[in-house]
Structure 1
Amino acid sequence: MTDPSQQSAPLTLAVDAMGGDNGPAVVVDGAAQAATGGLSARFIFFGDAAALGPLVAERAVLKGAEVRHAEGVVAMTDKPSQVLRRGRDTSMWAAVGAVRDGDAQAVVSCGNTGALMAVSRSQLRTIEGVDRPAITALWPTPRGRTVVLDVGANVEATEAELVQYAIMGEAFFRALTGKEKPTVGLLNVGAEELKGHELIRSAARVLREADPEMAFHGFVEGDDISKGTVDVVVTDGFTGNVALKTAEGAARLVASWLKEALTASLITRAGALLLRRQLVRLKERMDPSSANGGVFLGLNGLVVKSHGGADANGVKSAIEMAANLARRPFRDEVAETIARVGRRAQSVDRRGDADGEVKAAAV
């Protein structure tokens, strides 16, 4: 378990300042906004020192931050394999290395998702019992936020990996919100037990029988995500990524229709002016940057991926999420739960095999 003394240790965050579409100024601005908002943390910025030094120095709130020079930059078009072979001089590699070496408790990057996953997995390795990491997304619902995973780390997932995602997602939601018993559902084509393919039905059986402590809801459908039917929705990376991109596109479409309707005439513009406060609140709730930050679950270190096109407010959200999770020992909980569920699952399998032999003998 995590040493209690670590809970009171000063928090340090490593920031890959060169990743993303909008340049280092936006990343530094995001860190400054987080600090201005009350975040107590020390920052280590990785990237071109000549460019970063003045940006950090001119923001008084970042006094005490460190800039570490890194010559290379991971481009959005770089292949993960290419970065693993030739990217050791990059800001991304150095920032993740700070977590590996214990210089920082978490890393935040707006860079290439595939490369960041590859670099993080290479340097930090996976938690014992976790086959492959998963990426989370926070989904707005009437009840607050739902965690969805995986949303793109792995195109396919085995039965065992879906079970691991469920355990990781439950621990993550608990760490993020403090809710003791988050509800967990498996995304399926129907809520009935006979729906879906054998792989997902088998994963559901394991969760029901081998992890009775989990508040496992069963199967959920696509519309249940936005309803907030459960706290954690588990699926493979292909399905999760398609669902996420579809929802983002639908949100942009609705926003454009709303803007068109509210600016169609003088009367609607006057109405929009009267509703200005409510419309600003609606815009904030629909703004992806308000929940920006996908966490790579399953690693021996905390990695938060900010959207590549995030503005300063989006970077601030990702940094605040990293800080919120950095001192919480949910990774220890994941390792312990996966080991316990694995033992129980083997027991369930042996019992099932024995029952089958008895039935066969009776026939």
Structure 2
Amino acid sequence: MKIAVDAMGGDYAPKEVVAGIEIARDRYPEVEFDLFGQNDKVKPLLNNAERIDLVQADEVIAMEDEPVRAIRRKKQSSIVLAAQAVRDGADDAFFSAGNTGAILAAGLLIIGRIKGIDRPGLTTTLPVINNPKQDQFLMLDVGANADSKPFNLYQYAILGKYYAQTVMGFDNPRIGLLNNGTEADKGDMAHRAVHDILGSAKDLNFIGNVESRELLNGAADVVVTDGFTGNAVLKNTEGTALSVLKLIKNSILEGSLTGKLGAAMLKPTFKNIQNKMDYSKYGGAVLLGVKAPVIKTHGSAKAETIANTIGQIKSMLENHSVDNVVSYFNDHSDEMAAMKADMQK
């Protein structure tokens, strides 16, 4: 398997990207890499070129660039060329830590949607804290689409189900709808409609509405929501975790000597909590619903996170997660079309 990598994307690119790819190369002997970037900046960072090919990309799409315009104008950028390599079959998956909007645009406009899927969704894996039987859950959409219709959320549930089964190892993942209460009649008209649709779907293990405060307790294996809400919840979860850790640290530093000694004794415990809350160990965010794996990790990702994300991509390729989705939507095309038509009446 071969992965197309945007070597120029991310706050610490290309240094951390190259370091991460070398870790992944040594960790996964069956994986090869095409690194797209400015060779004069990438090549000096490479310690060992085994199973790593450098592909010159003259341009870079910056974080502040307008995504769709950048994709159309910067034809020789590392993001565009990497996505084209996947579209043309030279590579099996596309990875970047760069401009999120540009990565999504490249996935949609260059690699393309799976037939039958209206709007691909961006998904991420988050930790479960207080459940010994579950250590992670999946949430989508977390930012690909600010506006979503009930039919889109139904398709997100299917996409999430297959990803949870093939990559995360859930046999029959519990699907939950993110809402402002657990009762079936909670939420606006759109959420009530989605609840009814998911509840009537025979091939989904729908458990009903879930509240955001219960997500980290393992309320569901797959949490479905619109991109605006999902992105807001994701950022709030990140921010709350960081704020709590800072609050604890500042309280210790400003406290008494006894408190500092106690904190020193509890240092392994604090480290344990930090590791538990670090969702980057699960990899990057995946654009589900396109014809090949498209994975975006955090812009501030360092080498180890990048290597972990490559492991995630490897698992997607080995378990044929995209192929399974294609087969499902091909087999249920008539059913999908009829359902969509009913919702539009």
* TM-score, normalised by the number of residues in structure 1: 0.87
Structure 2 counterparts to residues 119-198 of structure 1, below 5 A:
119-142=106-129, 143-198=134-189
Q: How far, CA to CA, are the matches of 2:163 and 2:11 in structure 1? A: 28
Give the % identical residues. Answer: 34
Matched residue SS, 1:147 = strand
Counterpart of 2:106 in structure 1: which amino acid? Answer: V
Q: How far, CA to CA, are the matches of 2:159 and 2:209 in structure 1? A: 17
Q: Quick check: 1:307 aligned with 2:298? A: yes
Give the number of the structure whose alpha-carbon radius of gyration is greater.
Answer: 1
Q: Quick check: 1:295 aligned with 2:282? A: no
Q: Quick check: 1:272 aligned with 2:263? A: yes
Superposition deviation, residue 176 in structure 1: 1.5
Counterpart of 2:236 in structure 1: which amino acid? Answer: T
Unaligned runs of 5+ in 2: none
Superposition deviation, residue 175 in structure 1: 1.5
> Would you say the 8 A contact 2:167–2:321 is kept in 1?
no
Superposition deviation, residue 339 in structure 1: 5.2
Larger CA deviation: 336-345 vs 83-92: 336-345
Size of the aligned set, in residue pairs, is 338
Q: How far, CA to CA, are the matches of 1:260 and 1:34 in structure 2? A: 36
Instruction: Decide whether aligned partners of structure 1 residues 252 and 351 sit closer, same or farther in structure 2, where only a CA change above 3 A counts.
Output: closer
Q: How far, CA to CA, are the matches of 2:196 and 2:18 in structure 1? A: 47
> Would you say the 8 A contact 1:106–1:323 is kept in 2?
no
Q: Quick check: 1:326 aligned with 2:317? A: yes
Q: Over residues 205-245 of structure 1, what are the superposed CA-to-partner deviations in whole Å (9 max), with x where a residue is unaligned?
A: 22232x31211111111112111111000000000011011
> Would you say the 8 A contact 1:262–1:272 is kept in 2?
yes
Aligned to 1:40: 30
Q: How far, CA to CA, are the matches of 2:331 and 2:185 in structure 1? A: 27
Counterpart of 1:163 in structure 2: which amino acid? Answer: Y
Instruction: Decide whether aligned partners of structure 1 residues 339 and 187 sit closer, same or farther in structure 2, where only a CA change above 3 A counts.
Output: farther
Q: How far, CA to CA, are the matches of 1:77 and 1:303 in structure 2? A: 21
Matched residue SS, 1:177 = coil
Q: Over residues 300-354 of structure 1, what are the superposed CA-to-partner deviations in whole Å (9 max), with x where a residue is unaligned?
A: 01110011111112212222211111232222332343455564467789999xx
> Would you say the 8 A contact 2:127–2:278 is kept in 1?
no
Matched residue SS, 2:167 = helix
Q: Quick check: 1:71 aligned with 2:62? A: no
> Would you say the 8 A contact 2:146–2:227 is kept in 1?
yes
Q: Quick check: 1:93 aligned with 2:73? A: no
Aligned to 1:252: 242
Q: Quick check: 1:21 aligned with 2:11? A: yes
RMSD: 2.2
Q: Over residues 97-153 of structure 1, what are the superposed CA-to-partner deviations in whole Å (9 max), with x where a residue is unaligned?
A: 121121221111011111111111111110111111111111111321111100111
Q: How far, CA to CA, are the matches of 1:205 and 1:341 in structure 2? A: 19
Q: Over residues 182-205 of structure 1, what are the superposed CA-to-partner deviations in whole Å (9 max), with x where a residue is unaligned?
A: 110111111111111222222222
Larger CA deviation: 233-242 vs 258-267: 258-267
Superposition deviation, residue 249 in structure 1: 0.6
* TM-score, normalised by the number of residues in structure 2: 0.91
Unaligned runs of 5+ in 1: 1-10, 353-363
Q: How far, CA to CA, are the matches of 2:245 and 2:263 in structure 1? A: 14
Q: Over residues 44-87 of structure 1, what are the superposed CA-to-partner deviations in whole Å (9 max), with x where a residue is unaligned?
A: 1110111111212x2x3x52310000000000011122113212
